Each structure stands twice: as C-alpha cells, then as structure tokens.
C-alpha cells in the first residue's frame, strides 16, 4: 500500500512537471503572439503614414501639373496669336 502511494505521488509529480512545461510553452507562445501583434500595429501605423504622404505627393503633383498645363496653354495661345498677327 505504501508503494502504491509513492508510485501515485511520483505519477502526480510527473503530471505536474508536464503541466508546468506545457504552461511555459503556452506563456512563450503568448509572448511571441504579443510581440507579433505589436510589430503589426507598428507596421500598420508606418504604412498609414506612408499612404498619407503618398496621397499628399499625388495632390501636389496634380496641382503642379495643373499649373504647368495652364501656363503651356496660355503660351500656346500667345504663340498662335503672334503667328496669326504676322
């Protein structure tokens, strides 16, 4: 009977040890998941900033192109008027 209790105690200790290993693995996995999530959040913030910057560049290029087109159109009209006047 005493041997049975000792075997049962050893078995319980083994189960506890296995559970502690499993808990440690889960904690490590959770830490990795949290690190990945933080990295993704940081990357998303950087991408949002990059998108905003690219949209600003796009708007600026449209304005520059519009001004350039207007200037060319005015100069073409002046040139046509000069050619017609000559």
Per-residue model confidence as pLDDT tens digits over 14-64 = 999 999 999 999 999 999 999 999 999 999 999 999 999 999 999 999 999
- Provide the pLDDT for residue 25: 98
Residue 68 pLDDT greater than 90, yes or no: yes
Q: What is the pTM of this model?
A: 0.61
Tell me, letter by letter, the H, E, C secondary structure of the chain. CHHHHHHHHHHHHHHHHHHHHHHHHHHHHHHHHHHHHHHHHHHHHHHHHHHHHHHHHHHHHHHHHHHHHHHHHHHHHHHHHHHHHC
- Provide the pLDDT for residue 86: 63
Residue 1 pLDDT greater than 80, yes or no: no
């Amino acid at each position: 009977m005493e041997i049975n209790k000792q075997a049962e105690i050893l078995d319980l200790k083994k189960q506890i040890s296995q559970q502690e290993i499993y808990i440690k693995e889960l904690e490590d996995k959770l830490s990795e998941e949290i690190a990945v999530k933080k990295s993704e959040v940081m990357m998303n913030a950087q991408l949002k900033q990059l998108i905003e910057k690219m949209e600003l560049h796009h708007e600026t290029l449209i304005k520059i192109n519009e001004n350039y087109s207007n200037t060319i159109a005015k100069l073409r009209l002046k040139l046509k008027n000069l050619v017609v006047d000559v």
